[in-house]
Structure 1
Amino acid sequence: MKLDYKRTFFLGLAFLSVSAFWQLYDNIIPLMLQNTFGIGETMTGTVMALDNVLALFLLPFFGALSDRTDTKLGKRTPYIVGGTIAAVVFMLLIPIADNIKSFPLFFVSLGAVLFAMSTYRSPAVALMPDLTPKPLRSRANSVINLMGAVGGIITLISISLLVPKEASPSYMPVFTVIAVLMVAAVAVMLLTIKEKKLGERVKSEYPDEEEDEKNESSKDMPSDVRRSLNFILASIFLWFTAYNAVTTAFSRYAARVWGLQGGSFANALMVAMGAAIISFIPIGILSSRIGRKKTILAGITLMSLSYIAGFMFINYSPMINVVFAFTGIGWAAINVNSYPMVVEMSKSGDVGKYTGLYYTFSMSAQIMTPILSGFLLENVSYRTLFPYSVVFSVFSLITMLQVKHGDSRPPKKKSALDHYDVED
Structure 2
Amino acid sequence: MSNPIDYSQGIYDAKKLGTPRLLILGAQHMFAMFGATVLVPLLTGLSVSTTLLCAGLGTLLFHIICKGKVPAFLGSSFAYLGGFAIVSNDGANPENLPYACAAVAFSGLLYVLVSGLISVFGIRRIMRFFPPVVTGPIIISIGLILAPSAINNCQSNWLLAFVALAAVIVCNIWGKGMVKILPILIGVLVSYAVALVTGAVDFAAIGEASWIGFPIHKEAMGLFAIDGSEKFISALFTIMPIAIATMMEHIGDIAAISATTGRNYIRDPGLNRTLMGDGLATAMAGLLGGPANTTY
TM over 0.5: no
TM-score between the two structures when normalised by the length of structure 2: 0.33
The structure richer in helix per residue is 1
TM-score between the two structures when normalised by the length of structure 1: 0.25
**With CA pairs under 8 Å and 6+ residues apart, which has the higher RCO, 1 or 2?**
2
